[in-house]
Structure formats: C-alpha cells, structure tokens
C-alpha cells in the first residue's frame, strides 16, 4: 500500500516543503556510506564547497543518476527490476572520472582507520640519450676507414654488404685515411682516353668555327670589299673622263695590267663594274672588276673596227659581277662605256658549259657562237657550276650601237 500524495488533506502526512526530509534525502545520496543504491562503487570524497541555498527546481545530475530513497509520497523502488541499475560502462566512467584528479598533498587519514587514497603521480621523464662519442683523432679515423671497406678489410667487404642503411651512411661519412684519400683522388682523375676524346672534340669544334668564319668571309665579306673597290675604280674613271680630254685612238697595249679603261653595264642584271686590263685573279678579278683578255689571248677593244671583245669575271664571291649571266637571253643588251663612246651590244647566243682549255670561243670569229663573218663581237666568260671552276659559261653578243659620250647615255641605260 502506497502513502498519501501531497495533495491530500492536512490530516495526512505533511509535504516535503514543510519538512526537511527531501533535502536530507538528497544529501544522503552524496554520501557513499548512506547511498541506498546497490552496486555503486565508492568515490573519492569531493572537496567541500560553501553551502548553496536550496532551490525549488529539482536538482539535475548526470544523464544517469540515482533514484531517491523511499519517501512518504512515493512508493519504495521495486527490487525486482535489475534494468534500473547503472550500466557497467557508466559506472566505470564515473569511477575513472572520480580518480583522474591528481592531489597535490595526500589527504589526511580517515578517522575510522580505513585505507588511504594514494594520489596518482605523473610518469617520470624519459632518460636522455647518451652523448655521441667525440672524434678519437687519427687512430679513430683509421679504424673507421678500415671498417668502411679499406684494402685491409677486403675480406670483410662482402660480409658488410648486407649491413643496414644506417651503417652504410656512417661508413660513408667516416673520415678517410691518407691512403684512401690518395686512392680517391687518383680515381677522380680522368683516364687518358677521356682526355684524348675531349681534346679531339675541342679540335673539331674549333675547326668547325674556323670553317664557318671562312665561309662567312668568302660569301659575304669578299663581296662587300670587292664592291667597294669596284665602285671606287668606276668613279675614278668617270672623274678622269670628265676632267681631261681622252685620246680616242688609244690601243690596248697602252694600258698597264690592272688599269681600268672602261665600265660595263648590264641593265637586266643591275650590274655596273669597271673593266681592267688583264685577267689576274689578285689584281683584277678579286677586286670585283671585269678583266679583259690580254697577252697570248689578246682580244680586240670595243673601239676596234673588227674583232672579239672578250672579258671574264667571277661568278661567286669577290663582287660576283657575272653570277647571273646565265639568265641573259637573245635581245638583252650590254653597254660598255669608255672615255669617249658608249658601245651597246645585243646578246645573240650562249654556251652552257665548256672546258677551260677551249680558247676557240675567244677567236675573232668565236667558234660555236653562230657568227660566220668578221664583225665587232662581245664574249662574256665565267666559271660554272656555281662555287666551282670546273668549266666555263660563255655568252656572246654583237655590237648594235656606237654613241658618243657627249650625246648622253644610250637608250639601254635610260630605260628606252
């Protein structure tokens, strides 16, 4: 039979507000000796705090809390319900939480002579590693060198091959002896084969650079220099012709070798170059000028009444005035300017290649030109193929007009 509830008449038992029973019950729950709940482990007594005023609202505890003791208003807890007991995990958690704090000073022994609670002490710090041994001097270095694979430790070399990476690093970092240092220095030197290969490579590179410079000189600088010399010679001739009277009856023999006496124009190829006596490579051709055949191959002059006016010039390098004469076609014009006259020739035929020994192309009636009777002819000769002197390229022309210089330029030079 349960007790009467608080809302019963006043003649029944008094409510917990009128008595201090509820407070006493709550205080008893904090005492492990008076806790009526079975199976609760003892806890470390909590430090005392000043008493707080009693509040009307119920006191909240952890999510899992103990049930209050029997009271006049509530029935006694049923003992046959084991599910109301605290779970072992929660009890263990409460027990661990209660024993974690480390007490600075051991508590006073209990009055009833019970066992004292021993506080938990912090673990001692780990021991410091021993200091590394210092270098033992020359003896230690020699010992380390022998252990790292010296010539005296050859028998132990294969056995040490299975050592761990730490041992290998220590052996590599160990100082070498004098013998080992000399052996390492000799091993670091290049072999004679390596030195020879390096020297050969440097020689090839040097030769390649020199060849490149030579090609640049031949294909570029010689042209620049020859153009300067040829233009200077042509300007000097024109200045002489304009400043003094010239003898129209001069013969080829009166010109010294290398002396300029005329200027050739090829309008189609945009060529203007002075003509000098002789075909000397150094004195005439390499200076960018056109050479007139003299000596045993002496040919006619432009002002001669009959004959073959034959000239030669470079096709490549040194001004290359005849480089593109293979582009001349029948009907194209070539003008030769002297001190008193302009001689205009018309191209009639050409010979693509002939041996250098074929001098018949220079005769007064050139062989292979198609001319059959004496006349005033023009023959241009140069090397072929390009950049070689294997054969000769021949171009022939015939005089078409003779115009006094005092009357001005011919139509071929003014675009007529």
Joined together, the tokens standing for residue 175 give 């100082």
The radius of gyration of the chain from alpha carbons, rounded to an integer in Å, stands at 63
> Which of 315, 318, 392, 403 is flagged as catalytic?
392
Contact 13, 3 (CB under 8 A): yes
Using CA atoms, how far apart are residues 174 and 346, in angstroms rounded to an integer? 94
Using CA atoms, how far apart are residues 267 and 332, in angstroms rounded to an integer? 9
> Which of 315, 318, 383, 403 is flagged as catalytic?
383
Tell me, what DSSP letter sits at residue 119? P
> Which of 314, 315, 318, 403 is flagged as catalytic?
314
Examine the residue annotation and report whether 392 is marked as an active-site residue of this protein: yes
Examine the residue annotation and report whether 282 is marked as an active-site residue of this protein: no
Using CA atoms, how far apart are residues 70 and 25, in angstroms rounded to an integer? 9
Determine the 3-state secondary structure of 401 from DSSP.
strand
Task: Say which residues have a Cβ less than 8 Å from residue 190's Cβ, sequence separation at least 6.
Answer: 198
Examine the residue annotation and report whether 227 is marked as an active-site residue of this protein: no
Sign of CA dihedral 189, 190, 196, 202: negative
The helix (run of H) or strand (run of E) holding residue 380 is strand 376-384
DSSP states of 19-70 = SSHHHHHHHHHT-TTT---TTPPP-PPPPP-PPPPP-SSPPP--SS-PPPPP
Q: With 0-12 CB in 10 A as exposed, 13-18 as middle and 19+ as buried, what is 66?
A: middle
In Å, how far are 32, 95, 146, 173, 180 from 140, measured between CA atoms? 70, 60, 10, 13, 15
Tell me the catalytic residues: 314, 383, 392
């Amino acid at each position: 039979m349960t007790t009467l509830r608080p809302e019963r008449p006043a003649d029944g038992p008094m409510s917990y507000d009128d008595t201090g029973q509820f407070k006493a019950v709550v205080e008893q729950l904090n005492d492990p000796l008076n806790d009526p709940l079975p199976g609760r482990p003892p806890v470390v007594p909590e430090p005392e705090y000043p008493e707080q005023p009693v509040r009307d609202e119920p006191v909240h505890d952890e999510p899992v809390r103990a049930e209050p003791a029997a009271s006049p208003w509530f029935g006694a807890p049923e003992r046959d319900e084991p599910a109301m007991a605290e779970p072992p995990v929660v009890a263990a958690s409460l027990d661990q939480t209660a024993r974690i704090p480390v007490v600075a000073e051991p508590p006073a022994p209990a009055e009833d002579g019970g066992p004292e609670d021993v506080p938990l002490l912090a673990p001692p710090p780990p021991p410091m590693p021993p200091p590394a041994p210092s270098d033992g001097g020359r003896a230690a270095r020699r010992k380390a060198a022998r252990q790292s694979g010296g010539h005296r430790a050859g028998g132990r070399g294969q056995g040490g091959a299975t050592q761990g990476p730490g041992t290998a690093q220590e052996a590599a970092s160990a100082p070498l002896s004098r013998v080992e240092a000399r052996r390492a220095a000799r091993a670091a030197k290049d072999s004679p084969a390596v030195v020879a290969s390096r020297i050969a490579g440097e020689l090839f590179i040097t030769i390649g650079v020199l060849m490149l410079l030579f090609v640049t000189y031949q294909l570029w600088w010689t042209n620049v220099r020859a153009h300067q010399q040829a233009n200077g010679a042509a300007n000097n001739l024109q200045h002489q012709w304009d400043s003094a009277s010239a003898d129209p009856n001069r013969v080829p023999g009166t010109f010294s070798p290398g002396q300029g006496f005329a200027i050739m124009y090829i309008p189609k190829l945009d060529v203007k170059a002075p003509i000098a006596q002789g075909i000397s490579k150094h004195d005439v051709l390499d200076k960018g000028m056109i050479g007139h055949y003299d000596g045993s191959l002496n040919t006619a002059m432009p002002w001669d009444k009959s004959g073959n006016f034959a000239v030669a010039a470079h096709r490549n390098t040194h001004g290359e005035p005849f480089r593109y004469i293979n582009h001349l076609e029948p009907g194209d014009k070539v003008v030769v300017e002297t001190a008193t006259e302009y001689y205009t020739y018309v191209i009639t035929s050409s010979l693509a290649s002939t041996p250098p020994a074929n001098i018949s192309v220079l005769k007064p009636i050139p062989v292979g030109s198609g001319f059959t009777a004496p006349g005033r002819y023009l023959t241009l000769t140069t090397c072929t193929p390009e950049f070689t002197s294997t054969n000769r390229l021949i171009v022939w022309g015939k005089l078409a007009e003779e115009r006094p210089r005092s009357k001005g330029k011919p139509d071929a030079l003014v675009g007529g």
